[in-house]
Amino acid sequence: MDHLSHALDEALLSNLECPVCTEYMVPLINLCTNGHNICSKCREKVQCCPTCTAEFSNIRNVTLENIARRQRYPCANRQSGCLHLFSIEHIAEHEAFCTYGKIVCPLRKVNVECHWRGFKCDFEEHAKAEHPTYILRSPKFVSRLLRGSAALVLCFGEVFLYNKVVRDGKYYCVVQLIGPRSEASKYKCEFKLYVANSIEQISKTFTVRSYVEDFETSFNSGKCLRLDDVVVRHFVLEEELSLTITLSKV
């Protein structure tokens, strides 16, 4: 990008800043009756326009929304040195894993009380020091418990979060990469249930999900293991399950 168009971009970006929260506005962008803009999050919180105290209309600023969709936004970690630009759809995911930014301990997603916040590249060390009981080091492991369980799987130079939830007569199992979707899709996960005679078995394979996705989304998407309790019961021997999980590269 040449110097002039870069300067124009900065001017355009400043027009996209919400006057209340100063974050960049993304669609939907509402107008007050005098034509001032506000982001949708702040619109819900204020009674009148913070710029002129006029009322808000239901009119959207479609032109600005279109500009916002086409605009490339700087990463929130620009001050720390990340110079990448992203479209609206991609910036949140990038920021969740930007090497100049920090993540919270992923085990918080499985209700582990941990206040660690740090760089993604430091998470493995943190996990080894603070959560050794959750760590598995093989891409193939067996989940024997009939109740929910979670683990951190260290393999392929990555960290994966395994989670099994039993709820309303259903078993849900998912593996998420502590990384963006673009990296997660490079891995697949096979879930295999079998009985001692090895004749009967269930095997399902799914693409690994990204940790940016919440578990409810994974569970509801149909892109993770979901089995009825009655089916799982058939594969129980002495109150133990032989659910084998195998991670591999696509």
The contact set with Zn ion (CB under 5 A) reads 18, 20-21, 32, 34, 36, 39, 42, 49, 51-52, 54, 75, 77, 82, 98, 105, 114, 116
Q: Of 67 and 114, which CB lies nearer to Zn ion in the complex structure?
A: 114
Q: How far apart are CA 221 and CA 200, in angstroms?
A: 27
Min dist. Cβ of residue 157 to Zn ion (A): 20
Q: Of 43 and 192, which CB lies nearer to Zn ion in the complex structure?
A: 43
Phi first, then psi: give them for residue 86, nearest 5 degrees.
Answer: -140, 155
Q: How far apart are CA 164 and CA 191, in angstroms?
A: 11
Q: Of 134 and 235, which CB lies nearer to Zn ion in the complex structure?
A: 134
DSSP letter (8 states) at residue 111 = T
Min dist. Cβ of residue 154 to Zn ion (A): 14
Min dist. Cβ of residue 72 to Zn ion (A): 13
Neighbours of 206 (CB within 10 A): 18
Q: Of 75 and 159, which CB lies nearer to Zn ion in the complex structure?
A: 75
DSSP helix/strand/coil, 227: strand
Q: How far apart are CA 207 and CA 59, in angstroms?
A: 42
Q: How far apart are CA 18 and CA 23, in angstroms?
A: 6
Min dist. Cβ of residue 93 to Zn ion (A): 11
Min dist. Cβ of residue 242 to Zn ion (A): 30
Q: Of 25 and 241, which CB lies nearer to Zn ion in the complex structure?
A: 25
Q: Of 55 and 240, which CB lies nearer to Zn ion in the complex structure?
A: 55
Q: How far apart are CA 205 and CA 191, in angstroms?
A: 6
Within the chain, where are the H helices? 3-15, 40-45, 62-70, 88-97, 120-130, 181-184, 215-221, 229-234
Min dist. Cβ of residue 244 to Zn ion (A): 27
